[in-house]
């Protein structure tokens, strides 16, 4: 079983959650364009390509921050919101500026993740995880990455960046999606 990702951090996280033998996909996989219009679509693009190229069961995920008053954006565009892929600080700063006039009750948002598995026989599993919350008006905390410093989970007063990595993994959208995927992988006979 392989993970269609080039990110070793993600592999460690997914391994811990799945408790199943899994490896990073080979680095020489053909590159794909993630041009779908949903998390599910993009995750399937990655996993299908890896499965077809290797003949292995391939897992992949896609995730992002969905802001209510932006109709779910940044969503699939979360990692490149300010224009440059992976510019965490630029993305976060732009989002705060866009929402500067929004009152606390209009700052609702959720982190979402879709994790998928594609099998050589063409069958697929899709699992979703979600963490509801709201956006702070300024970044707080040193942990995590991406939008973690401005995301306050529902029922918490801390941003994700102010929580321990363990606590984050317990409640995170990615954790929830991969735990659901793991449950369904174990149920499946193959």
Contact positions toward a second copy, by CB under 8 A?
Answer: 33-35, 37, 69-73, 75-77, 80-83, 93-94, 97-99, 101-103, 106
Beta strands in 4-160 (DSSP E): 23-24, 58-67, 108-118, 124-135, 151-153
Q: Any catalytic annotation for residue 101?
A: no
The span from the CA of 88 to the CA of 176, in Å, is 23
Give just the sign of the alpha carbon dihedral 6, 12, 18, 19: positive
| Cβ proximity to a second copy, 107 vs 168, nearer residue | 107
The minimum distance between CB 92 and a second copy, in angstroms, equals 12
Q: 115 has which bridge partners? A: 61, 127
Nearer to a second copy, 40 or 185 (CB): 40
Rounded-to-integer distance, Cα 104 and Cα 179, Å: 32
* 44 vs 119: CA distance, rounded Å: 11
CB of 80 vs a second copy, minimal distance in Å: 7
CB of 110 to a second copy, least distance (A): 13
DSSP 25: P
Please identify which of the residues 62, 68, 88, 148 carries the catalytic annotation.
62
- C-beta closer to a second copy: residue 29 or 102: 102
Residues marked as catalytic: 62
């Amino acid at each position: 079983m392989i993970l269609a990702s080039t990110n070793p951090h993600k592999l460690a996280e997914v391994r811990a959650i799945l408790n199943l033998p899994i490896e990073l996909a080979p680095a020489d996989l053909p590159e794909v364009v993630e041009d779908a219009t949903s998390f599910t679509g993009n995750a399937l693009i990655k996993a299908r390509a890896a499965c077809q190229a290797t003949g292995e069961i391939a897992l992949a995920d896609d995730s992002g921050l969905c802001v209510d008053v932006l109709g779910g954006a940044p969503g699939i565009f979360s990692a490149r919101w300010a224009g440059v892929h992976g510019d965490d600080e630029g993305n976060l700063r732009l989002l705060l500026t866009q929402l500067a006039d929004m009152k606390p009750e209009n700052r609702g948002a959720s982190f979402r993740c879709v994790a998928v598995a594609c099998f050589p026989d063409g069958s697929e599993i899709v699992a979703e995880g979600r963490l509801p919350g709201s956006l702070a008006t300024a970044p707080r905390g040193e942990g995590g990455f991406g939008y973690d410093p401005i995301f306050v989970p529902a029922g918490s007063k801390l941003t994700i960046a102010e929580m321990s990595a363990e606590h984050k993994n317990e409640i995170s959208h990615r954790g929830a999606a991969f735990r659901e995927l793991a449950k369904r992988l174990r149920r499946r006979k193959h």
